[in-house]
């Protein structure tokens, strides 16, 4: 039996991928924030989107710099991910230091990437669309890196330390247990 769900919780049914730590920089300021509203948008060119509230400090940095990185943390970074989503970078001098995260130089953008994360996408903004109370930043992926043991064209999910962290909403997070392969059905089975 299904129960009615408050519309305010509807988005929690479709969070589609791992939580990310968004990094951005402009002039002498840089920041890291937690975000769960990310999505692939296009294969050619390779575009991704991240929805951020205009009141967030990182939103301003991305708007001014035109670039950002999506850093994919694993289970061991869960407490740091929660902290980065709870503290404003506008009020803290160095949120990387506060969270115990190591900013590293990106390959193709000026924003830092996070050394401890399993993977990262470096993006240049190609569009910023105001939608409701958020801005969807559409970024073209210009570089991507991933830990070898964590990814073999898909997330491996064998090592607990190398599983991407997913946000379920509120204070709840999860990791995927195992991957399964479902091969194309034989036409006679359809």
Q: Is 60 exceeded by the pLDDT of residue 190?
A: no
Residue keyed to tokens 């730590």: 21
Q: What is the pLDDT of residue 128?
A: 98
Q: What is the pLDDT of residue 187?
A: 65
Q: What is the pLDDT of residue 175?
A: 94
Q: What is the pLDDT of residue 140?
A: 96
Chain center to CA of 149: 20
Where residue 15 falls among pLDDT bands split at 50, 70, 90? low
- What contacts 45, CB < 8 A, 6 or more positions away? 140
Please name the residue ranges forming H helices in the chain. 57-65, 78-84, 95-99
Where residue 119 falls among pLDDT bands split at 50, 70, 90? very high
Instruction: Render pLDDT for 60-112 as a digit per residue (tens, 0 to 9).
Output: 999 999 999 999 999 999 999 999 999 998 889 899 999 999 999 999 999 99
Q: At the fourth CATH level, which superfamily is domain 7-189? A: Electron Transport, Fmn-binding Protein; Chain A (2.30.110.10)
Q: Domain segments of the chain: what residues?
A: 7-189
**DSSP reduced 3-state for 98:** helix
Q: Is 70 exceeded by the pLDDT of residue 186?
A: no
Where residue 162 falls among pLDDT bands split at 50, 70, 90? very high
> What sign results for the dihedral spanned by CA atoms 64, 69, 72, 76?
negative
**Rounded to the nearest 10 degrees, how much is the dihedral formed by the CA atoms of 126, 118, 85, 5?**
80
Q: What is the pLDDT of residue 146?
A: 95
Please name the residue ranges forming H helices in 78-176. 78-84, 95-99
Q: What average pLDDT does range 11-28 have in this prediction?
A: 86
- What contacts 126, CB < 8 A, 6 or more positions away? 47, 138, 139, 140
- Is-contact 23 32, C-beta < 8 A? yes
Q: What is the pLDDT of residue 189?
A: 60
- What contacts 151, CB < 8 A, 6 or more positions away? 118, 119
Q: What average pLDDT does range 29-42 have in this prediction?
A: 95
Burial of 111 per CB tally in 10 Å (0-12, 13-18, 19+): buried
pTM equals 0.92
Q: Who has greater pLDDT, 6 or 173?
A: 173
Write down the mean pLDDT value for the chain. Answer: 92
């Amino acid at each position: 039996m299904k129960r009615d769900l408050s519309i305010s919780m509807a988005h929690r049914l479709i969070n589609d991928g791992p939580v990310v730590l968004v990094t951005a920089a402009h002039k002498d300021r840089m920041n890291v924030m937690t975000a769960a509203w990310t999505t692939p948008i296009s294969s050619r060119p390779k575009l991704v989107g991240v929805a951020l509230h205009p009141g967030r400090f990182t939103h301003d940095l991305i708007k001014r710099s035109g670039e950002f990185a999506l850093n994919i943390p694993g289970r061991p970074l869960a407490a740091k991910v929660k902290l980065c989503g709870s503290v404003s970078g506008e009020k803290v001098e160095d949120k990387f230091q506060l969270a115990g995260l190591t900013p590293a130089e990106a390959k193709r953008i000026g924003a830092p990437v996070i050394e401890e994360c399993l993977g990262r996408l470096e993006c240049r903004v190609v569009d910023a669309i105001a939608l409701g109370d958020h801005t969807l930043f559409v970024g073209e992926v210009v570089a991507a890196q991933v830990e070898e043991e964590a990814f073999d064209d898909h997330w491996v999910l064998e090592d607990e330390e190398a599983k991407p962290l997913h946000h379920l909403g509120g204070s709840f997070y999860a990791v995927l247990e195992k991957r399964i392969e479902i091969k194309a059905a034989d036409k006679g089975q359809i």
